[in-house]
Amino acid sequence: MAKRKKLPGVLDFKVLIEPDETGGYVVSCPSLSGCFSQGDTIEEAIENIKEAIELCLEDMKEHGEPIPATSHVLIGSVTVTI
């Protein structure tokens, strides 16, 4: 496996973790369109999305794309009556 370049600084990306209907967990990063991963456990899913985020950021940097602001994602809850 090729060694990835480290990006300077620390970014705090929000991720969404959901149980997969076939087992395990699916995780996505809303700030990075198309950045998804999965894992058998929550811990594994988090490690996998961290790697996926690093790869997405590396690719964006190589293509001269701006890194999105991580503070634009808000996590909330909405209740509805059914």
Q: Assign 7 a pLDDT band (cuts: 50, 70, 90).
A: low
Domain locations in the chain as residue ranges: 16-72
pLDDT(4) > 70: no
Tokens of 21: 């209907």
Say how far apart CA 82 and CA 32 lie, in whole Å: 33
More confident residue, 8 or 38: 38
Q: How far apart are the C-alpha atoms of 63 and 52, rounded to whole Å? A: 17
Dihedral of alpha carbons 2, 55, 26, 34, sign: negative
The topology (CATH level 3) of 16-72 is Double Stranded RNA Binding Domain (3.30.160)
Task: Compute the distance between CA of residue 23 and CA of residue 20 in angstroms, rounded to an integer.
Answer: 5
- Higher pLDDT residue, 40 or 75? 40
Residue 23: its pLDDT value, please?
96
C-alpha 60 chain-centroid distance: 14
**Per-residue pLDDT reduced to its tens digit, 20-74:** 999 999 999 999 999 999 999 999 999 999 999 999 999 999 999 999 888 778 8
| Strands ordered across the beta sheet of 16-19 | 16-19, 25-28, 36-39
